[in-house]
Structure 1
């Protein structure tokens, strides 16, 4: 005899509260499993960064160069040939930049102590209001040292194995760079093979078509964004380098390259560039008023790029809200250091574009979207629902 059911779907012998309790327990269990999966993923990324970091960098590089490969494919150039040429060109550019910048950067690092002393002397007139606070802190430190037990001995551990550690770091960096370029070469040369493998994992024809459409849309939007942002950053670095050269700033090539690289960190990168240029300009020029022209020029270039160039060229649909950007930079810098911080925003854009193409994840993409974009979407929706006059 079949159990009779109510309109809500529960059996006659079952109470509605037991069904709700079962659903709540099921949702709680699913949330716990998702939390455990996220924690395990974070631990895997942290302890396996020697593997995951070059692999993700290779995918980002391949996505950046994909529009160029697609353009050359339309003009009859095979993917293997175009991918090989692009990767070799990338290796040449990275190697040349590293060679040209290594000398000035090493000099700056070696002279960092003297630069700090010169900067301190230059800013001495502005330190008078804070001198009393510094004196009080020194007196407190002296009292603390006097109160310590006289028999306590301070032990200093001398660093050992510095040469072996440096050699190991250089070898690891060389291996990671090799993996990045070789893997990106295979990804670019494979053409549509990677997408075909994804589509073949679905059974029905409708699922295959939907998966193919989603994969191509995501790849097209992300690759266009990464290539466009990379070109904008190179242009920004070129303009800043030329402007600082015109102002007489020492090592303008270094500051142009730093501006281009650090601009992958929105807000934070521009602030770092301005602070570095300000410090070097204060000890390089005779007057403070002229020295402030260099950071003012960098600030002007950053404002024009951030408020006009990038929103016009890239579009506001792929803008990310500032809170999500700062959280992503903090998380990935903790996870993988400076390289992780540089990859934070591109990975955030990848996640947003991927979530926008799935209804179940659309709320995540909406959370990552910038406030201006959300306001525009709400205004459009409101105008569409207004009755016609």
Structure 2
């Protein structure tokens, strides 16, 4: 057999295999693109499942319940706690939200008065803007309905994931070659631990920031302190941009009182975020990958451009999971720190 025949027999199968692998990657990328909204909802379900499984751990340890029973009980207790909290603060929150919605237009008028004849004033008074807002009302109503449906899907998917987490993990592991399954399982477990640690730290940060803003704005004498605190706590889930957006209502309200109040209010938000960044975040980073703020910012822009506002909300946990996976699969082996599997 000539060298040309040998080369032909070895080169052609390798070329076919590489071409088939490339075609499979292209098909997978196209599927991921067209199914991106379903994948995003699935990731939201993964977050719900992580919360349920974490809450079920002490129940399994302190009661004779099995895994599924503990998950059911954890879900019930979380639902009851949320219902009780909402029932406790909803009357005050509704009243203060109404006060906030009444006060913000006056604050915007104050801003326009300070700025004078500017682009902001022209934009706010233009008929084109009013027409656009009217046109958006129908789409906003449809978006509310879509959000309700998506939330229901996320909760149901999270319940299924939480009931049998190992089944779904092993299903993903079975997609890779048997020689790589043990390592893949260890990498997925590490990503799950990182997500769980980040969520725990983020919940602490949200409650702390919300309580600090509520107390601080109440001491300053701003209207609707509870509403401002709830806004700040919820937006703390969105890194980098969330705290900036959360400060805008409080600063605008302070402008309607006096320039001194505006300075004090801005200082309050800066102080709260500094305490959160220098005291709470280091505790979180002890158990989860230290993702640089620039990476979070780029993730918000890139993920938000693909998934919209839902992607912005979930960009932080998605970035944490991706950062842990990239570190375990590429960065650690490249730098000689490959310790998987454990």
TM over 0.5: yes
TM-score range, shorter chain: 0.7 to 0.9
1:177 to 111, 130, 151: 151
> Is 2:41 aligned against 1:67?
no
* TM-score, normalised with respect to structure 2: 0.74
Give me the whole-angstrom Cα distance separating, in 2, the residues matched to 1:321 and 1:272: 20
Contact 1:240 1:298 in 2 (8 A): yes
What's the CA shift for 1:235?
1.8
Q: Which residue of 2 aligns with 1:282?
A: 255
1:244·1:294 contact (CA, 8 Å) conserved in 2? yes
Q: Which residue of 2 aligns with 1:87?
A: 75
Query: Larger relative contact order (C-alpha < 8 A, sep ≥ 6)?
Result: 2
Given the superposition, is the C-alpha separation of residues 212 and 73 from structure 1 closer, same or farther in structure 2, using an over 3 Å criterion?
A: farther
Equivalence map 1:91-240=2 (5 Å)? 91-92=79-80, 96=86, 99=90, 101-102=93-94, 104-105=96-97, 108-109=100-101, 112-121=104-113, 124=114, 127=115, 134=118, 168-198=142-172, 204=178, 207-240=180-213
* Residues 82 and 337 of structure 1: CA distance in aligned 2, closer, same or farther (over 3 Å): same
Alignment match, 2:274: 303
What are the ranges of 5 or more consecutive residues in structure 1 without an aligned counterpart?
14-18, 139-155, 367-376, 381-389
In proportion to residue count, which structure has more helix?
A: 2
Offset, 1:228 = 2.0
Tell me the equivalent position of 1:322: 293
- 1:175–1:337: structure 2 CA closer, same or farther, 3 Å change rule? same
Rounded Cα–Cα distance in structure 2 between residues aligned with 1:30 and 1:196: 23
Cα deviations across residues 12-60 of structure 1 (Å, max 9, x unaligned)?
A: x9xxxxx9xxx99x99997898577546533432xxx3x4443321111
2:305 corresponding residue in structure 1: 334
CA 1:275–1:171 in structure 2 vs 1: closer, same or farther (change >3 Å)? closer
Q: 1:295 to 1:71 in 2, by over 3 A?
A: same
Deviation at 1:247, TM superposition (A): 1.9
TM-score by length of 1: 0.66
CA contact (8 A) 1:65 1:227 kept: no
Match of 1:42 in 2: 33
Instruction: Give, in whole Å, the separation in 1 of the partners of 2:211 and 2:30.
Output: 41
**Pick aligned residue for 1:78 from 66, 74, 82:** 66
Aligned partners of 2:271 and 2:295: how far apart in 1? 25
Aligned twin of 1:362: 331
Gaps of 5+ in 2: 123-130, 338-342
Cα shift at 1:356: 2.3
Q: C-alpha deviations, 1:114-167, integer Å up to 9, x for none? A: 33113444xx3xx58xx6xx59x99xxxxxxxxxxxxxxxxx79957967x565
Is 1:54–1:176's contact at 8 Å kept on the other side of the alignment? yes
Q: Is the 8 A contact 2:197 2:288 kept in 1?
A: no
Residue deviations 1:192-227 (CA, integer Å, cap 9, x gap)? 3333444566775x6554343333222222212222
Do the aligned partners of 1:218 and 1:353 also contact (CA within 8 Å) in 2? Answer: yes
From the CA coordinates, give the structure whose radius of gyration is larger.
1
- Paired with 1:190 and 1:196, the residues of 2 have a C-alpha distance of 10
Greater displacement, 340-349 / 73-82:
73-82
| 2:214 counterpart of 1:241 | yes
3-state DSSP of counterpart to 2:35: helix
